[in-house]
Amino acid sequence: MTTLIQSGPVVYIDGKFMAPDQAMISVYDHGFLYGDGIFEGIRMYGGKVFKLASHLERLYGGAAEIRLKPVQDRAQMAQAVRDAVTRSGLKDGYIRLVVSRGKGSLGLNPNHCPTSSTIIIVDRIHLYPPEMYEQGMPVIVAKRPRIPAVCLDPALKSLNYLNNILAKVEAIDAGMHEAIMLNLNGEVSECTGDNIFIIKDGVLHTPPVSAGILRGVTRRFVIDTLAPAAGMKVVENPMLLKDVFAADEVFLTGTAAEIIGVSSIDGKKIGSGKVGPLTHKLASDFKKRVQVNAPED
C-alpha cells in the first residue's frame, strides 16, 4: 500500500488518516465524557520516534491498570505511529497517542463501551519560549497539592489531567509557565507537566515514584543514559522545598519540554539565577544524542 505523504499535521483515528479539520470522535466516547482513557506524548527527531518502546510499555501498563484493552497489540500500535509520522512528512515534531474507552452510553459503566478507540496526532510543538532554555525559567510552587496515589495514581497517564491543569492555572495567573506540585506530605512531587531534578555538589537528586510522580520517559533517559555518561551520580530520594531552594541547579524534564533549567522559584533565585553548567551539559548532550540517532527502544 502506498503511503500518501503530506507536509504537516496528520490525524489517525481507528485505522483511518485524515486532516486535523476533518478529525471527529463521537460525543458518546468515554474519553470525552469522563476522561476514561490513557495517552502518551512522544517526540520524533529526524523522522525517528524517540523511545517509542518505552512509551508503549507505559501505555499498555496504564491500559492494563484501568482494564482497557487497545484494539492494536504493541507491534501494530508501533507501526501505526510510524505510519502516521511518515504520512505527516515531518522530521521533527510531537506525537500524541490516545487510547480511549471508546463509544458507549451516558452512564459510567465501561462495559457499555464495546471497543476502545485509538487516536494518533502528529504535529509540531513549542512548549516554552526558546530564550528560557538559555536564561532559565522562573516557576512557582502551586498551592494545590498532587492527587495522592491512593485516589488516582499520578503514575497513570490518564486522560483526566484536571489536577495538573488547575495547578497550571496558578502558574499562568502568576505570569509563569510552570508550577512545582507537592504531595500531601509536603514533599516535592513534580511539576504540572514535567519531572524535576536538583543538583547539589555535583549529584543529581529527583523525587522517587512514591512521591506521586509520573514515570517520565525523559526523566528515565537522564537517569539511565545522560547522567552516567557525564559521570554524574543520581539519587532518587524524597525532597522538601528547602532542599530545592538550597540546590546549586534545578532543571525540569519532559517529552515536550526536553531539559530546561529553572532560574527562580517563587521569586527566589536558584544558584546563580541562570541555567547552571551541569544543566547546560545535560541539555546539550540530550540534543546531540537525539539529533544524531534518536533511540527508539
Contact indicator for 206, 195 with CB cutoff of 8 Å: yes
Same domain, yes or no, for 35 and 181? no
Same domain, yes or no, for 110 and 22? yes
Same domain, yes or no, for 224 and 139? yes
Q: Which residues pair with 286 in a beta bridge?
A: none
Contact indicator for 55, 217 with CB cutoff of 8 Å: yes
Q: Which of 123, 158, 182 is the last residue of a domain?
A: 123
- The answer to whether position 161 is within a domain reads yes
- The answer to whether position 4 is within a domain reads no
pLDDT confidence of residue 8: 85
Mean pLDDT of the region 76-81 = 97
Which residues constitute the domain of residue 150?
132-292
6, pLDDT greater than 70: no
Cell 484536571 locates to 162
Amino acid present at 260? I
Same domain, yes or no, for 167 and 201? yes
Cell 485524515 locates to 18
Tally of residues, the chain: 297
pLDDT confidence of residue 295: 77
Tell me the pLDDT band of 81, cut-offs 50, 70 and 90.
Answer: very high
Number of structural domains (the chain) is 2
Write out pLDDT tens, residues 126-154.
Answer: 889 999 999 999 999 999 999 999 999 99
2, pLDDT greater than 50: no
pLDDT confidence of residue 199: 98
The pTM assigned to this predicted structure is: 0.93
- The answer to whether position 204 is within a domain reads yes
Mean pLDDT of the region 6-27 = 91
CA 288 to chain centroid:
20
- The answer to whether position 2 is within a domain reads no
Same domain, yes or no, for 145 and 103? no
Tell me the pLDDT band of 206, cut-offs 50, 70 and 90.
Answer: very high
Same domain, yes or no, for 204 and 97? no
Same domain, yes or no, for 287 and 146? yes
3, pLDDT greater than 60: no
pLDDT confidence of residue 1: 42
Mean pLDDT of the region 255-273 = 96
Same domain, yes or no, for 104 and 154? no
Same domain, yes or no, for 110 and 171? no
Q: Which of 123, 146, 162 is the last residue of a domain?
A: 123
Same domain, yes or no, for 138 and 175? yes
Q: Supply the CATH number for residue 215's domain.
A: 3.20.10.10
246, pLDDT greater than 70: yes
Same domain, yes or no, for 224 and 277? yes
Mean pLDDT of the region 218-229 = 97
Q: Which of 91, 123, 155 is the last residue of a domain?
A: 123
Any alpha helices (H) in the chain, and if so which ranges?
Answer: 30-34, 52-65, 74-88, 132-135, 162-173, 217-221, 227-229, 241-245, 277-293
- The answer to whether position 160 is within a domain reads yes
Q: Supply the CATH number for residue 78's domain.
A: 3.30.470.10
Share of the chain above pLDDT 90, in %: 93
The DSSP letter of residue 209 is: G
Contacts of 41 (CB under 8 A, 6+ apart): 94, 95, 96, 97, 255, 256
Write out pLDDT tens, residues 266-293.
Answer: 999 999 999 999 999 999 999 999 987 7
Same domain, yes or no, for 161 and 244? yes
